[in-house]
Amino acid sequence: MEVSALAIRLFAVALLASGLAACRPSEPGTPAAAPPPAAAEATAPAAPAAEAPVVLEDVIETDPRYVVGISYPPGASADPGLARALHGYAEAARGELLQAVAGLPGPPTAPYELSLGFRELMRTPEVVAVAADGSLYTGGAHGQPLVARFVWLPGQQRMLTAQTLLASPDGWGPVADFVGEQLGTAAHTRAADESLEPADRERLLAAALKMIDEGTRPEPANFAQFEPVAGSDGRIAALRFVFPPYQVGPYADGVQAVTVPAAVLRPHLAPDIAGLFGD
């Protein structure tokens, strides 16, 4: 059966009307159609990728120009946050060595050297402490001492630092006074060397006391390196503050340390870590 011309025209008009309706913008107040699931997934922000765990492995590198030796304590990789901090410190020291090697015009008279050892000082469910000690030699009379302490709080998943140790910056005053007095007593003992002339003793003592005064100003930066001393109950009985050469004495005096009892620290501790300390 033939289709009439009128029917064909009506059919074309209907097709045109439906196409215009599809192209017309939505009227005010009309919600836009939701994108299909695939499109929604494509536009959603990606979840942050989890940091890959760090596996701490001892390092031994030998080269005609340099030597690298790094050792970690067993089990240090068990705490990912602590492991990243230890690895980052070691890699920063290694990077400094390699940068110095890259700037050499030729072979050094003595190989440059990085010697760094980490050792565990304390491990409880609440506190894990690790010490880093070593030396970085890139020429000169002697190497640069490497001294660092890491106190990890597994329950809070963070590092305990000088900035978070005390409730208020004012608390560093009594701590600094205690530490300065102990270091000053040790300086007087060293200056009592009978082999020195009186004038030399006075001069050395004055220089030492000046360095102590400057290196123990009541600021967190001056007390950045500390390690916990465990008590019989497993809690922290004291903090041993460690000072590298040149901070509170000349290079010849080496690393110096002062143990501050919990009784001195307790009135000034931050509330969220006070429970870690014994009476």
Across the range 182-211, mean pLDDT stands at 88
Q: Can you give 218-269 as a three-state secondary structure string? A: CCHHHHCCEEEEECCCCCEEEEEEEECCCCCCCHHHCCEEEEEEHHHHHHHE
Residue 94 binned pLDDT confidence (cut-offs 50, 70, 90): very high
b/e string for 19-39 if b means 16 or more Cβ within 10 A? eeeeeeeeeeeeeeeeeeeee
Q: Which domains does the chain have, with CATH numbers?
A: 59-159 (3.30.565.40), 162-276 (3.90.640.20)
pLDDT at 90: 98
Only one residue has tokens 């939505």, namely 26
b/e string for 233-272 if b means 16 or more Cβ within 10 A? eebbbbbbbbbbbebbbeeebeebebbbebebbeebbeee
C-alpha closest to that of 141 among 250, 256, 257: 250
Strand order in the sheet with 226-230: 226-230, 236-243, 256-261
- CB 256 within 8 Å of CB 274: no
pLDDT at 279: 80
Gap between the Cα atoms of 30 and 2, Å rounded:
44
**Quick one: what percent of the chain has pLDDT higher than 70?**
81
Residues 6+ apart with CB under 8 A from 258: 178, 179, 182, 183, 240, 241, 243
pLDDT digits (tens, 9 = 90+) for 103-157: 999 889 899 999 999 999 999 999 999 999 999 999 988 899 999 999 999 999 9
Gap between the Cα atoms of 116 and 69, Å rounded:
6
Helices (H), the chain: 5-23, 37-43, 80-102, 162-165, 172-191, 198-215, 262-265
Is residue 61 helix, strand or coil? Answer: strand
Enter the tokens of residue 226: 């500390």
Whether residue 182 has pLDDT greater than 80: yes
Which of these ranges, 7-11, 92-96, 162-166, 189-193, has the smallest mean pLDDT?
Answer: 7-11
pLDDT digits (tens, 9 = 90+) for 21-57: 443 444 444 444 444 444 334 444 454 455 677 889 9
pLDDT at 198: 84
pLDDT digits (tens, 9 = 90+) for 204-263: 899 999 999 999 999 999 999 999 999 999 999 999 999 999 999 999 899 999 999 999
